[in-house]
Amino acid sequence: MNVYDAQRMADLLAPEGYADTAQVEDADLVVLNTCHIRERAAEKIFSELGKLRALKAARAKAGRDTRIIVAGCVAQAEGGEIFRRQKAVDIVVGPQSYHRLPELLRRAETERGLVETDFPAEDKFDFLVAPTPQQIRKRGVSAFVTVQEGCDKFCSFCVVPYTRGAESSRPVGDILAEVAVLAAAGVREVTLLGQNVNAYHGADGAGGSASLAELCARIAEAPGIARVRYTTSHPGDMTADLIAAHRDQASLMPFLHLPVQSGSDRILAAMNRKHKSADYVDLVAEIRQARSDIALSSDFIVGFPGESEQDFEATLDLIERIGFASAFSFKYSPRPGTPGADLKDQVEESVKSARLSRLQALLERQRQAFNRGMVGRTVDVLFEKPGRHAGQIAGKSPYLQAVQVDGETDRIGEILPVQIVAAGANSLFGRLTPGHAARGAPI
């Protein structure tokens, strides 16, 4: 979602005369779009700001102004405190108020220390600016669209409900309008974003509300859109109609990121997750019944306060039972203001590290096995960009695996069948099936 927000900020600033630069030394304006989910992410901002302060001073000597903005969830959580730690910052703006950036930049001509971290009454989406077709093409054929934001679940480890605010869904019509602009510029795949995306219930324009499954079906009707994905889902909101959509909607890709966090019921209860390990197993069985080839992914936290060796083993057991195609895993990071941070029995860092290594080794084995299982199969690949070497192009399988083939860059944007011949550490390698290898070539 931070990638999406950063793109929308760039869209908003383009009419103000700003354009992207690849060299930070050339930037008149630097926006750090920040993440507060774990301590390390938040701390990185301050080391980055130290470097930017030196850059700002060097540019000032050459008579050039530099504005530094801290946006995103660190901005939301720390507010004016950021100026205390780093005076070179000009503006602090939270994730729900970045539509005010043009106005803030104008005010910054005369005012110092501007902070905008209210959850405003107006909806930022009503004030954003559509990207130009050139900008969309530069970003590629696969695009993100935020459809839902915020969260009311209050898992005891998580800052999201405090930084992104209460859960809200964008109206269907607004989303379809945004997708139409993307599709007209060549986008073929849309990934719908939300902290809790399967809780989506946007106004349908007829006095009712649409579910995520209904939204996915409407989006797939946009000319040119061939693939729809969504992330991130909560197990508690995996409704029957969404599961059925994985069976019935061909454009809905067979990949599901469904974080479980832990396999121990005791820890899940302490995390306020409101699902048990067995609920997750049952849910996955139901999803696989609807779409047997679905690739599953999850997030895991190790070392939540009070996690015993036995609790950790329960997580490993759950992973063995499910079999994941990919996953993200983290050491628990106490976040200020969340209930988890005040719990006694915080787990020692060395124990967290050892558990994370074991967990990641298991997940990596499963990922490699999943990828090796593709060898010999033919899958549809959406080509997105030039490959690693000249004469190659790269794209994604339906299961979100990176795939490289020999091919011309004018195939970017096409979805073509690829026979997988090998599985590398991070990519699959394949060849275009004979009928597609070269335009006009005899089959």
- Position among 168, 191, 195, 401 found at the interface with ligand SAH (CB under 6 A): 195
Q: Which stretch binds ligand SAH (CB under 6 A): 1-9, 70-78, 155-163, 345-353?
A: 155-163
The type of residue at 151 is: C
- Tell me if 197 contacts ligand SF4 by CB under 6 A: no
- Cβ partners under 8 Å of residue 149, min gap 6: 1, 95, 96, 164, 165, 167, 168, 194, 195
By a kind-dependent CB cut-off of 5 to 8 A, residue 101 interacts, out of ligand SAH, ligand SF4, none, with none
Q: What is the token pair recorded at 208?
A: 């009712």
| Residues linked to residue 46 through DSSP beta bridges, in sequence order | none
- Tell me if 196 contacts ligand SAH by CB under 6 A: yes
Please write down the HEC assignment for all residues of 373-409.
CCCCCEEEEEEEEECCCCCEEEEECCCCCEEEEECCH
CB of 359 to ligand SF4, least distance (A): 18
Q: Which stretch binds ligand SAH (CB under 6 A): 203-211, 331-339, 366-374, 402-410?
A: 331-339
By a kind-dependent CB cut-off of 5 to 8 A, residue 301 interacts, out of ligand SAH, ligand SF4, none, with ligand SAH
CA distance 145 to 1: 8
Query: What are residue 368's phi and psi, to 5 degrees?
Result: -65, -40
DSSP strand pairing (378-386 vs 415-423): antiparallel
CA distance 151 to 195: 7
- Tell me if 12 contacts ligand SAH by CB under 6 A: no
CA distance 246 to 236: 17
- Position among 154, 279, 431, 437 found at the interface with ligand SF4 (CB under 6 A): 154
Q: Return the number of other C-beta atoms located less than 10 Å from residue 289's C-beta.
A: 11
- Tell me if 363 contacts ligand SAH by CB under 6 A: no
- Position among 259, 263, 305, 395 found at the interface with ligand SAH (CB under 6 A): 259
124-153 binders of ligand SF4 (CB under 6 A): 151, 153
Consult the annotation and say whether 73 binds a ligand: no
Q: Which stretch binds ligand SAH (CB under 6 A): 44-52, 117-125, 328-336, 367-375?
A: 328-336
Buried b (16+ CB within 10 A) or exposed e, 153-173: bebbbbbbbbbbbebbbbbbe
Contact residues toward ligand SAH (CB under 6 A) are 37-38, 157-158, 160, 195-196, 232, 234, 259, 261, 299, 301, 330, 332-333, 335
Q: Which residues are annotated as a binding site for [4Fe-4S] cluster?
A: 151, 155, 158
Contact residues toward ligand SF4 (CB under 6 A) are 151, 153-155, 158, 160-161, 195-196, 234
